[in-house]
Amino acid sequence: MEFELQLTKRFSIPNCHTLEVALNHGAYRSFEKLFSMKPEAIVNEVIASKLRGRGGAAFPTGLKWSFVPKDTALPVYLCVNADESEPGTFVDRYILEYDPHLLIEGIVCAAYAIKSHDVYVYIRGEYVRPYMIFKKALDEAYRSGFAGHNIKNSGYDVHIWIHRGAGAYICGEETALLESIEGKKGQPRIKPPFPAVEGLFGCPTIINNVKTISHIPWIIEHGGEAFARIGTSESTGTMLFGISGHVNNPGFWELPFGMRVPEFLEKYAQGVKGGSLKALFPGGTSTAVMTADECADLYLSYESMRAHGTMLGSGGLIVMNEHADMLHALRTITRFYAEESCGQCTPCREGTFWIHRLLEKMVRGEGTTKELDLLLEIADNMEGKTICALAAACAIPVRSCVVKFRQDFEKYVKPVFVPVAAAAEKMLGDDAVPF
Amino acid sequence: MQKMITVNINNQEYEVQEDCNIVEACDAHNIPLQRFCYHRYLPVDGSCRTCMVEIETPQGMMVTTACTTKVKPGMAIYTNSEKAVAAQKSALEFLLLDHPLDCPICDKAGECLLQDNYFDFGRYDFRRTVARYFKGGKALNAGEHIVLDQERCILCRRCIRFFDEIVRTPELGIISRGHESSISLFPEKFIRNPYSGNSADICPVGALTLKEFRFKQRVWFLKKTKSICTQCARGCSIYIEHNKNTVWRFMPRENPALNRVWMCDRGRFSFNKLHEKRIFTPLKHQEEISFNQLYDDIAELLKTRRSGEIAWVVGPFSSNETYYALKTYCGDNAVCLMPPASGERDDLLMLAEEYPNAQGATFFGLQTETAPLIDKIQKGRIAALIIVEMDLFNLRNDSFAQCLMENIHKIPLKIYLTAYRDETVARVDYVVPVRTYAETNGTFINATSLLQKACQALVPEHPDIDAACIALYTIATGARKHQRRYSDASEMYDKLRSHYDELRSFQFNQIPEYGIALNMPKRADEPFKGIHVDFNVCSTAKPLEES
């Protein structure tokens, strides 16, 4: 399969995070064409490219950009979401580390397209190394006129500010990210109004993932049509797929959409380690788990994933072999969501923790079959009832794991009914609370 | 007039106001819908997720929160569809999951939204089979009046929004995240703002309670009487909540144009004053006498004086009925003193004038010029002075009080109508005990020229204690009890209303709950000056405390 690398083309070049090396290998080449085009033309190119947001929701990028009110008197902001915290997702950091100038180039292109002069790059707090490298690259870009005031004599200014997170998963949700940049507690806002109309500091704001932004220079250079020819009809272009878990060669690869998952596993991840494939989370833990049978005709594309009732998410595949215990896996996953729920909406705040406590109980061997069904019901009561998608992100793996791997759970639970008070007493000893 | 649109709620057409949200639309038509974080006078938050309804959208049926969804013409809304009810029930289940359920010792029990909503909308089987998560933080001292119980808190953030948006003192916030979230103060800091008591009112559960009310009364024993606050010229609408003839608390009463549902702490915690330093028996030279003897003595003494020799002094603390009685029965020598405005004031509710009815004195055309009377006193032409409900000898920096102190020996007879044993009691010849404003019906006119009624909440200690207006009438006319034209102050009101066009059509018990706006110059700005909080009061909505 022949295709041109768009995001990782300079990854193998040593020291490509420095401006000098990056320039020698074609960085910032798109600027010449960029500033000769009108912003609207660029938005149209991106619409033509059918580029979809790589952050997880896969919303068409060009369409999102076109939502910015025309001729608004307010400043327009661009926020770059580098708060990559989804379990199993780890590719944004390599763009920041290996080719930060690609991101800066993309930022300038995107800012120009949406007529924004101020860009915030929200980098996950734990990403210290990527932050240092990106900061250094940004300083270099400023010094050489690739960012900041009057970029390359185009008369266009793009100021880029780095904002570091403080370790909250929820700040990767676009409106929580805005709250966090504004200095508030990272809690999602109610939509509508959508950020494209009323976002950062009440102004129109576009929030894009690092990977999405990094595709823009290529689209400008080669045109949206060329981009749309790569991949499948609905999933155009290439994407960075990361794979982790029980595989022989974990890592990430840039591939056009449309590869069959078993092929990807064999060819790139070099097969499942320690046994045969049991389960696969296609796009981080927030997506519905796939059994080995389902994986057989699963393709790396948005439409194939949707047809199988799951999502490609951020493209972070997690593989589990036949010896993996789904109850323990799910307990770990729900611990993450219980810990990371922002606490704003009741169903998420209480539901994630309730599910986690039930799973903890099952791991101890004190669960009942009734509680297994309760898990499904709690998941139903959480999903779609909250401001943001975190509750759904917890409910989906719970539901899919319990339904598809019920035998794993039934090993732990007793069909008999354990009286509530007795169970509590067992857990707490003398401190037991009367219910 | 707001534009009305038609929406379809539970397969029935309703007219609702344009750009109100679904909760408000339901409230306007008494369609039951639970809510915690939504409050009519606070910005919408949408975090409790209990007011779930199902609506028809172009993308199909959708379960969403009613408080964050604006109505659109022709919108189909279901509050009782299967999905909506499931979502409502599950949200309540989540809220109650780790709730301490200490209702028997919780002061909110009886007026707790969690109780009420669970009773109406809850699922009645308890499904938590794991150990309860203890949130900790019980009975924390959160300020001068407030006790915080983090364990009971359901994190609806009403209190936070109230302090942030209305009082603008962001003193409360949520610390930690997820299930560890809890309402908290900054370290070493307390709630110190003059409206803190409201946070306990709007708290839907017993997380914020008042020190002044904790463990005093169960709310279901309290009787509510519509009244007003008399601590400043704003005259906020309140309920006097009382049981066994004792006032246990003042609660703000909804009045959209006046105080919305707020009141200041100065007014709220003044309820104790109604029972302090009361005087129940008539005094003659500081010795107790009977009511019969009192009225006989006074009638005898006043009979020999010409009306020009009798002076009547009232303050801005009395009711309209008292002013009317003064004006009608007591002749020309009646003056109303206006003590200087000395209280705290702000842009919300509090006014510097710490008295309730200065506008009433103006409305009834009472003399406020004291110079002629001072002159008469100095020349010894006043033979009797009758002081009405005003602690005259406690006034500082007032020229009339000054003159009175200096020339007190020149007035042979001094009579004092009062409900309280204050400084003036010791300096007069006769003390006539009267009722407090909580013990009688009455009307007051506030600084924005709104006439409101204060209804009788308590029964006076002694049946012969009269309202000030009736005592005045008795003294002025010399009428014996069986000869009186009035047995209750409301009858005085019904007499006076016939003289004023604006009042003529309202009998006492017909005075609207929100008062009658009178056409006269205002003494103060509108309340909530400069506070623009997005709220939308449907004119047809039922009062808050019933919803």
The angle at the Cα of A28, spanning A37 to A90, to the nearest 5 degrees, equals 115
Please give the Cα distance from A383 to A351 (Å, whole number): 10
Q: How many CB atoms lie within 10 A of CB A424?
A: 21
B49 contacts A346? CB cut-off 8 A: yes
Asked if residue B271 lies in contact with residue B437, where contact means CB atoms within 8 angstroms, the answer is no
Q: What is the pLDDT of residue A433?
A: 47
Find how far residue A218's CA is from the centre of its chain: 21
CATH code, residues A326-420: 1.20.1440.230
Domain B4-96 CATH (choose: 3.40.50.300, 3.40.50.10420, 3.10.20.740, 3.30.450.40): 3.10.20.740
* Residue range(s) occupied by CATH 3.40.50.740 in chain B: 283-517
Asked if residue B130 lies in contact with residue A354, where contact means CB atoms within 8 angstroms, the answer is yes
**Best of A190, A342, A350 to mutate (most B CBs within 10 Å, chain B):** A350
Residues in chain A: 435
Domain A242-321 has CATH 3.10.20.600: yes
* Closest residue in A to B64 (Cα–Cα): A385
pLDDT tens-digit series, residues B159-183: 999 999 999 999 999 999 999 999 9
| DSSP 8-state code for residue B526 | P
pLDDT tens-digit series, residues A136-186: 999 999 999 999 999 999 999 999 999 999 999 999 999 999 999 999 999
Please give the Cα distance from B172 to B163 (Å, whole number): 7
Q: Residue B78: beta bridge partners?
A: B54
- Contact list, A342 vs chain B (CB under 8 Å): 177-178
Q: What is the pLDDT of residue A426?
A: 62
Q: Residue A336 contacts by C-beta under 8 Å, 6 or more apart in sequence?
A: A87, A169, A285
Please give the Cα distance from B412 to A217 (Å, whole number): 101
Q: Residue B336: beta bridge partners?
A: B314
Q: Residue B228: beta bridge partners?
A: B237
- Contact list, A381 vs chain B (CB under 8 Å): 86-87, 90-91, 93-94
Q: Break chain A into its structural domains and give their ranges.
A: 19-229, 242-321, 326-420
Where does the pLDDT of residue A421 fall: very low under 50, low under 70, confident under 90, or very high at 90 and above?
Answer: low
Could you tell me the CA-to-CA distances from A39 to A44, A116, B32, B97, B161 in Å, in that order?
9, 10, 51, 52, 41
H helix or E strand, kind and range, residue B62: strand B60-65
Record: fold of B283-517 = Rossmann fold (3.40.50)
User: How many angstroms away from the CA of B126 is the closest CA of chain A?
Assistant: 10
The three-class DSSP label of residue B508 is helix
Q: Which of A15-29, A397-411, B398-412, B438-452 is least confident?
A: B398-412
Q: What is the pLDDT of residue A431?
A: 52
Q: In what order do the strands lie in the sheet with A316-321?
A: A251-256, A238-245, A316-321, A277-281, A290-291
Please give the Cα distance from A258 to A301 (Å, whole number): 5
The residue-averaged pLDDT of B29-53 equals 93
Residue B254: closest CA among B543, B546, B547: B543
Q: What is the pLDDT of residue B399?
A: 83
The three-class DSSP label of residue A71 is coil
B49 contacts A347? CB cut-off 8 A: yes
The residue-averaged pLDDT of B130-155 equals 92
What value does the mean pLDDT of chain A take? 93
Q: What residue type is assigned to position A370 of the chain? A: K
Alpha-carbon dihedral angle through residues B97, B101, B107, B113, given to the nearest 10 degrees: 40
* Residue range(s) occupied by CATH 3.10.20.740 in chain B: 4-96
Q: Residue A263 contacts by C-beta under 8 Å, 6 or more apart in sequence?
A: none
Q: What is the CA radius of gyration of chain B?
A: 27
pLDDT beyond 80 at B543: no
Q: What is the pLDDT of residue A435?
A: 42
Domain A19-229 CATH (choose: 3.40.50.11540, 3.90.1640.10, 3.30.470.20, 3.40.50.300): 3.40.50.11540
pLDDT beyond 50 at B129: yes
- Interface check for B70 against chain A (CB to CB < 8 A): the answer is no
Q: Position of tokens 């993309």?
A: A106
Asked if residue B27 lies in contact with residue B34, where contact means CB atoms within 8 angstroms, the answer is no
Q: What residue type is assigned to position B206 of the chain? A: G
Please give the Cα distance from A124 to A113 (Å, whole number): 26
Please give the Cα distance from A106 to A114 (Å, whole number): 12
User: How many angstroms away from the CA of B503 is the closest CA of chain A?
Assistant: 48
Residue A360: closest CA among A384, A323, A328, A396: A328
Q: Residue B68 contacts by C-beta under 8 Å, 6 or more apart in sequence?
A: A190, B21, B44, B46
**Best of B155, B177, B181 to mutate (most A CBs within 10 Å, chain A):** B177
Q: What is the pLDDT of residue B409?
A: 87
